[in-house]
Amino acid sequence: MSETVIREVANGVWTFSRPFARYGVVPVGGRSTAIKMKNGGVWVLASTPLEPETKAKLDELGGVKYIVGADAVHHLFLGDFKKAYPDAKLIAPKEAIERHGDKNLVFDGAWGRDLPNTRYGFEDEIKHRFFSGFVNKDVVFFHPDSKVLIEADLLMNLPANEQYSKSRASPKLPLFGGFTPTSWFHPRFLWYLGKDKEAMRRDAKTVAGWDFEKIIPCHGDVIERDAKKAWEEAFKFYLD
């Protein structure tokens, strides 16, 4: 039986949440997110395996038109998605492309390589902000119609209860127990991993200005309420 939890978090926004342990030890969970676009296509942040249940739901939503990698390390399954949806545009940070094992995989765009104002085709429905100053070169996405923010490693909300809800393994973090945006450690974690502080300030403030009500992280539970407060707490050293 599949361990992936598939649900509609907001109108037209679907998550695919499953267990994943970093280094095989730390249970951070994994999540892909799909948005059904107005033209009938599907935009997907691809960060989990394209197992049959996931593909069936994506096909039901209308077929994938855009496949995105959210940062330098969320690239493992991009090739599988592209193989299943060869006509979809594939876009990821330059560092993800460099790390990906299949050097024959063709990317249609690369954050950090393309000009900052490059448009990839989904911008009328989904905004994006590339955090060039963050160690993992993350991209944050915002879907104004649903007021949902989607991101990978910039903000975590652990333990990953939903992602482990079909697993026999425990979502509890060794030693820490939890790692939420409002914890004392999260803003310090972001400060330490921000390699260009001015760029981080610029991009964190831009995202803080968006009108979002929920945050879908790749790691940990979806933040269903007080999402703006969660962002501001996690990035407080950059927003002060």
136-163 confidence digits (pLDDT tens): 999 999 999 999 999 999 999 999 999 9
Q: Is the confidence at residue 176, as pLDDT, over 80?
A: no
Q: Is the per-residue pLDDT at 195 higher than 70?
A: yes
3-class secondary structure, 78: helix
HSE, CB side, 13 Å, CA atoms: give it for residue 61: 27
Q: pLDDT tens-digit profile of 74-129? A: 999 999 999 999 999 999 999 999 999 899 999 999 999 999 999 999 999 999 99
Check if the beta carbon of residue 107 is closer than 8 Å to that of residue 81: no
Contact status, residue 13 vs residue 146, Cβ threshold 8 Å: yes
**What's the pTM value of the predicted model, to 2 decimals?**
0.97
More confident residue, 24 or 215: 215
Please give the domain boundaries of the chain with CATH numbers for all domains: 5-239 (3.60.15.10)
Question: CB neighbours (10 Å) of residue 96?
Answer: 26
pLDDT digits (tens, 9 = 90+) for 48-83: 999 999 999 999 999 899 999 999 999 999 999 999
